[in-house]
């Protein structure tokens, strides 16, 4: 009900505002990769990825702005969409749609020259940010000293993207709502001690998901904290994550499976175009019904930018893939052209 009242109030504000002419932009990228796997049959090592995004924005006479975004999937079908009302009340940006989420944006923000330690298929890990592709309403605003806050709420986390003037009904009645929030704090902006912390940023996030409507079943949740620092050509980051899948099954007696992860990244910009990085990702699973070996991935990456084209390379190795005995080594070459 509160969300409905907010939307009605916003609709009135926008209805009485005069819009200026807007602009439409089309951006995208095409990426070709070659990946070999040491311990498994590779098959055809060539892969392709394509992205296309349509975006437009306009300004209202009352000082607010409106921007829209629609992207596509690899088959050029409709993907995610978003509408953002900027500077509402001079304080907050309000967005509605299915593009991204506060935690999805900070799943791994340690520095890298090309890809995350597990970004080229080495290892099997759990991302955070389940609300990335579900339609919800969000708010972005700044708090003095605390920094930038991003909050998203999904009324029903059933994975259904409704058409206009439709509801998802009982698409998946077994799940409830979800919310995510992230806070990005520039430590150099803190009073007194800020002068000693210039270049350092603390990013935190939390999500709670009512993934089961069974009575007395614990919700799933994610929590993360990342400390990043950059000075000159060097950048460094360390991040901790906890991914708890909550209780599942027909009753509330099934133990929750959860994961504790540690990510470290160190990058060096050799010049304006060439950079190198070393990244590690460790994950400890806690599951009473399975093996729980510590999964560890290490990777060395290179990135070289030539105008709108980027060439990337990564050599990655994983021990105890999928938290069980075994290894998984990959080597990946990428050519990506953005337009």
Judged against a pLDDT cut of 70, whether residue 43 lies above it is answered with yes
Q: Which of the residue ranges 72-81, 90-99, 116-125 has the most confident prediction, judged by mean pLDDT?
A: 90-99
DSSP string, 102-113: TTGGGS--S--S
- What is the reported pLDDT for 199? 93
Q: CB neighbours (10 Å) of residue 238? A: 16
Q: What CA–CA distance (Å, rounded) separates 128 from 280?
A: 17
Query: 14: helix, coil or strand?
Result: helix
pLDDT in tens, 291-300: 889 999 999 9
CATH 2.60.40.1120 applies to domain 33-40+96-161+173-338: no
Q: What pLDDT is stored for residue 133 in this prediction?
A: 83
Tokens found for residue 120? 């080229």
Instruction: Please say whether the beta carbons of 176 and 153 come within 8 A.
Output: no
CA–CA distance, 243 with 248 (Å, rounded to integer): 15
Q: What percent of the chain has pLDDT over 70?
A: 91
The reported pLDDT for the residue numbered 34 is 95
**Mean pLDDT to the nearest integer, 188-203:** 90
Distance, CA of 293 to CA of 23 (rounded, Å): 53
Sorting pLDDT into bands at 50, 70 and 90, what band is 251? low
In terms of phi and psi (left: phi > 0; alpha: psi -120 to 50; beta: otherwise), the region of 92 is beta
- What is the reported pLDDT for 194? 82
Q: Which among 78, 14, 99, 24 is positioned nearest to 56, based on CA atoms? A: 24
Question: What's residue 33's pLDDT?
Answer: 95
Model pLDDT, residue 219 = 85
What pLDDT score was predicted for residue 253?
57
- pLDDT exceeds cutoff 60 at 246: yes
Q: What is the mean pLDDT of residues 229-239?
A: 97
Max mean pLDDT range (192-206, 242-256, 268-282) = 268-282
Which segment, 58-67, 189-198, 232-241, is predicted with the most confidence on average? 232-241
User: Where does 89-195 show beta strands of DSSP type E?
Assistant: 92-97, 136-143, 147-154, 178-186
CB 111 within 8 A of CB 230: yes
* Among the ranges given (81-95, 233-247, 248-262), the one the predictor scored with the smallest mean pLDDT: 248-262
Q: What would the mean pLDDT of 136-148 be, rounded to a whole number?
A: 94
Joined together, the tokens standing for residue 226 give 């990342």
Q: What is the mean pLDDT of the chain?
A: 87
Residue 322 has pLDDT above 80, yes or no: yes
Q: Is the pLDDT of residue 6 over 50?
A: no
Mean pLDDT for the stretch of residues 261-285: 97
**Would the pLDDT of 21 be above 60?**
no
Check pLDDT > 50 for residue 8. no
Least confident residue range of 137-146, 147-156, 160-169: 160-169
Mean pLDDT of 160-173: 81
């Amino acid at each position: 009900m509160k969300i409905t009242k907010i939307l009605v109030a916003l609709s009135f504000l926008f209805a009485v505002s005069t819009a200026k002419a807007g602009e439409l932009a089309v951006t995208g990228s095409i990426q070709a990769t070659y990946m070999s796997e040491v311990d498994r049959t590779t098959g055809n090592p060539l892969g392709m990825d394509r992205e296309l995004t349509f975006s437009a924005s306009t300004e209202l006479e009352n000082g607010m702005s409106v921007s829209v975004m629609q992207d596509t999937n690899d088959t050029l079908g409709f993907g995610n969409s978003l509408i953002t009302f900027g500077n509402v009340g001079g304080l907050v940006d309000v967005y509605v749609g299915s593009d991204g989420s506060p935690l999805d944006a900070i799943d791994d923000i340690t520095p890298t020259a090309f890809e995350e330690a597990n970004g080229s298929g080495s290892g099997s890990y759990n991302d955070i940010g389940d609300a990335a592709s579900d339609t919800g309403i969000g708010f972005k605003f700044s708090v003095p000293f605390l920094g930038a806050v991003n909050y998203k709420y999904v009324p029903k986390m059933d994975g259904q993207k409704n058409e206009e003037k439709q509801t998802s009904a009982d698409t998946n009645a077994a799940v409830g709502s979800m919310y995510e929030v992230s806070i990005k704090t520039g430590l150099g902006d803190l009073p007194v001690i800020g002068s000693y912390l210039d270049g350092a940023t603390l990013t935190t996030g939390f999500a709670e998901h009512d993934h089961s409507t069974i009575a007395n079943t614990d919700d799933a949740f994610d929590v993360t904290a990342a400390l990043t620092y950059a000075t000159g050509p060097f950048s460094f980051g360390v991040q901790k994550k906890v991914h708890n899948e909550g209780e599942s099954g027909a009753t509330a007696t099934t133990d929750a499976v959860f994961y504790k992860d540690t990510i470290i990244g160190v990058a060096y910009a050799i010049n304006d175009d060439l950079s190198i990085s070393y990244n590690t990702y460790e994950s400890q699973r806690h599951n009473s019904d399975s093996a729980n070996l510590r999964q560890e991935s290490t990777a060395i990456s290179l990135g070289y930018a030539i105008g709108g084209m980027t060439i990337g390379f990564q050599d990655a190795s994983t021990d105890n893939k999928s938290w069980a005995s075994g290894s998984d080594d990959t080597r990946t070459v990428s050519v990506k052209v953005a337009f």
